[in-house]
Chain A
Amino acid sequence: MEKFDIAVIGGGQGGLPAAHMAANLGAKVALIEMREVGGT
């Protein structure tokens, strides 16, 4: 079982910059997207 500081659910328009910001702040991020990234 993998452990993360933060999971971002959705790799669309908002999730992508959120995941990058969290990662750049040093958090271990799981980004989860069920389709193609980019959203809508």
Chain B
Amino acid sequence: MHLVQRRAHEFGVRGVNPDAVTFDLAAAVVRKDAIVKGIISGIYSALKKNKNIAFFTGHAEFISPVDIRVNGKRLTTEKTLLAVGARTATVDIPGLAEVGFITNYEALTLEYLPASMIIIGAGYVGVEFAQMYARFGTKVVMLGRAPRVMPHEDEEVSAVLADVLWAEGIDLYISAPVLRAEREGEGKVVVAQIGGEERRFKAEVILFAGGRIARVDELGLAQAGVEVERHMIQVNSELRTTASNVWSIGDANGGAMFTHRATYDGPLAALNAVRGLKKKVDYRVVPRAVFSEPAVASVGLTERQAREAGHEVKVGKHLFAHTGRAKAIGQTEGFVKIVADAKSGEIFGAHILGAHADILIHQVVTAMYNHGTAEPIAKSIHIHPTLSEAVKSAAKAIGAAPVIQTGE
């Protein structure tokens, strides 16, 4: 949609009138639902085939450390593995509940395209939905409380990503805490504190993309002796909770809230619980991505985090603007940055903003898994012309003179 509307002409495609291109959100939702349905039916058939699994539909609640109530029925179990996930944090903005808002969940089920949307939160959920709706044609205002978007990522990633979002017409405000929400006629108003002033934003829909907390509502954790602290289930390195017969995995424990972390935790906790093993989780190398366009992907420490941890670091960087393939596909924004130990050369982390960053990060992930240096990436032959040459160039640049950011 975005490519057709904004870039077809540049690539020599004729006969497309950008102003005549329209987007049918309901059709896109139908397509998405069909894909999800296929995945879900695959999950159910795998469950049916596994004779040792009995599936229950309903909300589970502990009534004792070994008894669980589901739909008025009682199950007795020696051990329990919690995989309850996270939900959007309870809204603490005065007036917002009364005015009405949606979360990421409803944002994927809208049947008509809102003309305008205010997104509260500039983390990855906020960023992904802001760009998606802006590209669909909604006028998007984004309000982030922190001084930059994606505040846990590399500073330069935040800065370039903010530029990209601005350039696409998203009204992005950072250091913009929301004070309250109000009704104004048919519209919804959000008041934010920006640069010492109160500013009012009006829109049809408000999307609350604040933090996420463990989904432990009415779970009866106190009956089981499972402790929750700062909205997260407390576990040790073997994923065992404060109750000796209960383990917990995934988002509900906090930390890296990603599917690939939950699918790593699951089997490990099951082995510990069922076999009585003492396997420990190793979260040293957990990559993460934001599916914006250009995408963001990173692993390990940022340059700042590595320095703050007392390390002497060297950094290698390469711009996609200097990468042949990026020029060919017209996606030259962004860079690859690799942070390594100045003495041993061991990689501390990598930060990529650019086309297919989510794929490119993996050669650094593999190197880091073995406590490796960037040398094999720098020395191995990479296919030309690919975007992975940018990763190789960044690896080669480690310890070299810093790259001067050019205008492009």
Chain A residues at the B interface, C-beta cutoff of 8 Å: 1-34, 36-40
From A3, A17, A24, A27, contact of B76 by CB (8 A): A3
User: What is the CB-to-nearest-CB distance from A13 to chain B, in angstroms, rounded to a whole number?
Assistant: 4
Q: Is B34 at the interface (CB under 8 A from chain A)?
A: no
For chain B residues 164-222, which have a beta carbon within 8 Å of chain A? 219
Q: Which residue of B lies closest to A25 (CB)?
A: B274
Chain B residues at the A interface, C-beta cutoff of 8 Å: 36, 39-40, 43-44, 46-47, 50-60, 68, 70, 74-85, 105, 219, 249-252, 259, 262-263, 265-267, 269-271, 273-275
B46, B47, B265: most-surrounded residue (chain A CB, <10 A)? B47
A32, B52: Cβ atoms closer than 8 Å: no
From A10, A22, A28, A33, contact of B55 by CB (8 A): A33
From B43, B50, B58, B60, contact of A38 by CB (8 A): B43
A6, B57: Cβ atoms closer than 8 Å: no
**19 extra interface residue pairs, beta carbon distance < 8 Å, beyond A13-B250, A21-B274, A23-B51:** A3-B75, A4-B54, A4-B77, A6-B273, A8-B80, A9-B219, A10-B82, A12-B250, A15-B249, A17-B266, A18-B83, A19-B47, A20-B50, A25-B271, A25-B275, A27-B52, A31-B53, A31-B55, A33-B56
Contacts A9-B82, A13-B262, A40-B85; A31 near B77 (Cβ below 8 A):
no
User: What is the CB-to-nearest-CB distance from B47 to chain A, in angstroms, rounded to a whole number?
Assistant: 7
User: What is the CB-to-nearest-CB distance from A29 to chain B, in angstroms, rounded to a whole number?
Assistant: 5
Contacts of A30 in B (CB 8 A): 53-54, 56, 68, 75, 77
B78, A14: Cβ atoms closer than 8 Å: no
B83, A4: Cβ atoms closer than 8 Å: no
A5, B76: Cβ atoms closer than 8 Å: no
Contacts of A10 in B (CB 8 A): 82-85, 250, 252
Contacts of B273 in A (CB 8 A): 6, 22
From B53, B68, B251, B252, contact of A23 by CB (8 A): B53
User: What is the CB-to-nearest-CB distance from A9 to chain B, in angstroms, rounded to a whole number?
Assistant: 5
A32, B76: Cβ atoms closer than 8 Å: no
Contacts of A17 in B (CB 8 A): 263, 266-267, 270
A23 CA to B50 CA in the complex, in Å? 7
B39, B56, B83, B84: most-surrounded residue (chain A CB, <10 A)? B83
A18, B269: Cβ atoms closer than 8 Å: yes
Contacts of B85 in A (CB 8 A): 10, 12-14, 39-40
A34, B77: Cβ atoms closer than 8 Å: no
B274, A14: Cβ atoms closer than 8 Å: no
A6, B53: Cβ atoms closer than 8 Å: no
Q: Which residue of A lies closest to B51 (CB)?
A: A23
A15, B83: Cβ atoms closer than 8 Å: yes
Contacts of A2 in B (CB 8 A): 54, 75-76
User: What is the CB-to-nearest-CB distance from A22 to chain B, in angstroms, rounded to a whole number?
Assistant: 4
Contacts of A19 in B (CB 8 A): 47, 50, 53, 81, 270
User: What is the CB-to-nearest-CB distance from A21 to chain B, in angstroms, rounded to a whole number?
Assistant: 4
B54, A14: Cβ atoms closer than 8 Å: no
